[in-house]
Amino acid sequence: MDNIISLTITDDIIIELSKKDDRINKLISLVGCLNIAIRENRFEALVRSIIGQQISISSARTIYSKMQVLCGKIRPESLYIVSSEELRKAGVSKPKISFIKDLSEKVLSGEMDLNSLDDYSSDEIIIILTKVKGIGVWTAQMFLIFSLGRLDIVALGDSGLQRACKWLYYDEGNKDGINILADKAKHWHPYGTVASLYLWEAINKGYVDKFNSINECIRT
């Protein structure tokens, strides 16, 4: 089960973030409230992230459903003992099979205790998670946001955030999206995650593709 966290424009976090950045304030006013699903099953969340790498959402869902039929509950025990051949038949690529097996082995051996990660800083957790084959910095950052609920994560390498940030700050020179994002993240501290969620929502709602700027979007 996922835990749903609702952010409203009257929350203290939203009010404080809005004061830090006028453009983010405009975006928050435009988007309104947000619901965030925190994935409580941490192992399952990481497996989903691995499966979803470089394939469409629909393909990832199909493969994951087949894995559930094959293994029952997605747990380190079930994935560790299932054969690579069976996983391959379910649509999991050979590299991803090795990634899942590596994660399962590390959890089962006690080398990685996902339930103790709350005790570590975000930077420490990224170091811990990226020791697993197939888990890079971006995947670790998504885990920090959507499994641990960390509030100050900005994934600088996320192309969607870069694009949305360049759209929101359209008139601030010809900087690359990543440079704008890195600069703005300093101002959003300690609520970089919240700013990121609103930027992603600007893409999800079609604002970034339909309008040249947020001002044009508001006027429409």
Digit-coded pLDDT (tens) for 21-77: 999 999 999 999 998 889 999 999 999 999 988 888 899 999 999 999 998 889 999
Digit-coded pLDDT (tens) for 180-193: 999 999 999 999 99
DSSP 172: S
Other CB atoms within 10 Å distance of the CB of residue 9:
14
Give percent of the chain with pLDDT exceeding 90. Answer: 83
Average pLDDT of the residues of the chain = 92
Model-wide pTM > 0.85: yes
In order of their start, the domains of the chain are 2-38+152-219 (1.10.1670.40), 42-124 (1.10.340.30)
* Confidence (pLDDT) at 9: 86
Digit-coded pLDDT (tens) for 104-133: 999 999 999 999 999 999 999 999 999 999
Question: What secondary structure does DSSP assign to 120-162, as a single string?
Answer: S-HHHHHHHHTTSTT--HHHHHHHHHHTT--SS---TT-HHHH
Which one is predicted more confidently, 172 or 161? 161
